[in-house]
Amino acid sequence: MAIKYTFQGILIYATMAAYLLAFVATLLRQRKIGKFTYLVGFIIGCASVAFRWFDVRHVPMQNLFEIFLLFGALVYPISIFCNRVLRVGSVVADMLIGAVVLFPAGFIFNAEPQQLPPALQSWLFAPHVFVYILSYVFMAKAAVQAVSHLANRQPHDNLLSPEEATYRMVCAGFPLLTLGLILGSVWGQLAWGDWWGWDPKELWSLASWLVYVGYFHFRYMFGRRFPRFSSVWAIIGIFVIIITLLWVNLSRLFPGLHTYAM
């Protein structure tokens, strides 16, 4: 863990600070200030991604540092879209999610620019990672809703009930998760000659996909009788995603093809 004394670092910390401020302000019922600082956080977050793009001269989605940087900028538009269009709340939680996802970029991951190794030079690279990031944000929101459901929270305004909101977020994220898995597989086929290589990272992403397939079927079969179990399923989903995203890379427990994703 190290503090980044660079311009990039300052941008990241400023985004985090704005998101946290927005979070605290909203909790203290200063809604206007909250909304405003959330927007400011988003603008600095975009500047941070743009700076990185300019700095490394390729789409900044090569390593975990860049991926988390993007996460930090994407949280805001997704959060607003879900609130206004999909009637799924938890914007306050999104502010916190924004700050939390930037933490690894700010303090843990190495920001040194890298040149693209041959296996990463594919047109599939950016879409594969991008749809995964999007789907993970939806699935994180699904888990937040699932927790509110278990905590018996009632939504205000005309938002969906937490159980329905969980389902809606999984419905939003699942096609992207599926596309991410398929693009990864096609890329594997082009790069290594196998559309499925049984590599640990692939298996974890299959497991996270299957957890949501399980969620759909469980909810279809028992959703009325045991709605709380469906929500537990959605929470397990985000845990498996976190493991897929981080643990495989960080732990070095599993030998595999994706080690360059560090």
Partner 1 sequence: MTQETGLKNRLRRPVLWAGLLLILLLTVSSIYGAFIGAQAAQRFFNSIPLSVYWLAFAVLLVVGITIFRRLLHVRGLFLIHLGCVLVLAGGILGSQAGLTLQNAFFKTDFIHSGEMVITEGEIEKIVQTEYYGQKELPFEIKLVDFKIEYYPFGSLIIQPQDRPSIRIPAKPGSGYKLPDDLGSVEIVSRFENFKMILDGARRITFDDPNGKPNLALELQLKFPDGTEKTKYVFERFPGHESPDDKLQFFYRRTIRDFISDLEVIKDGKVVAKKSIEVNKPLHFGGYLFYQQGYDNIAGRYTILRVAGDNGLGIVYLGYILLCAGVFWHLWLRHILKDRIIED
122 contacts partner 1 (rule: CB under 8 A): yes
112 contacts partner 1 (rule: CB under 8 A): yes
The answer to whether 219 and 231 have CB atoms below 8 angstroms apart is no
Q: Which does 241 bind (CB under 5 to 8 A by kind): ligand HEM, partner 1, none?
A: none
| Shorter beta-carbon distance to partner 1: residue 7 or 222 | 222
User: Which residue among 81, 196, 226, 239 contacts partner 1 (CB under 8 A)?
Assistant: 196
Quick one: residue 157, left, alpha or beta (phi over 0 = left, psi -120 to 50 = alpha)?
Answer: left
| Shorter beta-carbon distance to ligand HEM: residue 37 or 230 | 230
Residue 237 beta carbon to partner 1: minimum distance, rounded to whole angstroms: 10
Site string for ligand HEM, 106-145 (x = CB under 6 A): ----------------------------------------
What's the start-to-end Cα distance of the chain, in Å?
A: 15
Element (H, E) at 130: helix 125-150
Helix %, strand %, coil % for the chain, to 5? Answer: 75, 0, 25
| Shorter beta-carbon distance to ligand HEM: residue 198 or 220 | 220
| Shorter beta-carbon distance to ligand HEM: residue 27 or 213 | 213
Task: Residue 242: name the closest of 125, 160, 140, 164 by CA.
Answer: 140
196-255: contacts with ligand HEM (CB under 6 A):
213, 216-217, 220
d(CA 207, CA 186): 18
156-185: contacts with partner 1 (CB under 8 A):
171-172, 174-175, 178-179, 182, 185
Among the residue ranges 33-41, 94-102, 154-162, 210-218, the one whose residues contact partner 1 (CB under 8 A): 210-218
194 contacts partner 1 (rule: CB under 8 A): yes
Q: Which does 211 bind (CB under 5 to 8 A by kind): partner 1, ligand HEM, none?
A: partner 1
Burial class (CB in 10 A: 0-12, 13-18, 19+), 142: buried
DSSP secondary structure string for all residues of 57-120: SS-S-SSHHHHHHHHHHHHHHHHHHHHHTS----HHHHHHHHHHHHHIIIIIS-----PPPGGG
Residues in contact with ligand HEM, total (CB under 6 A)? 4
The answer to whether 89 and 165 have CB atoms below 8 angstroms apart is yes
154 contacts partner 1 (rule: CB under 8 A): no
50 contacts ligand HEM (rule: CB under 6 A): no
Q: Which residues bind ligand HEM (CB under 6 A)?
A: 213, 216-217, 220
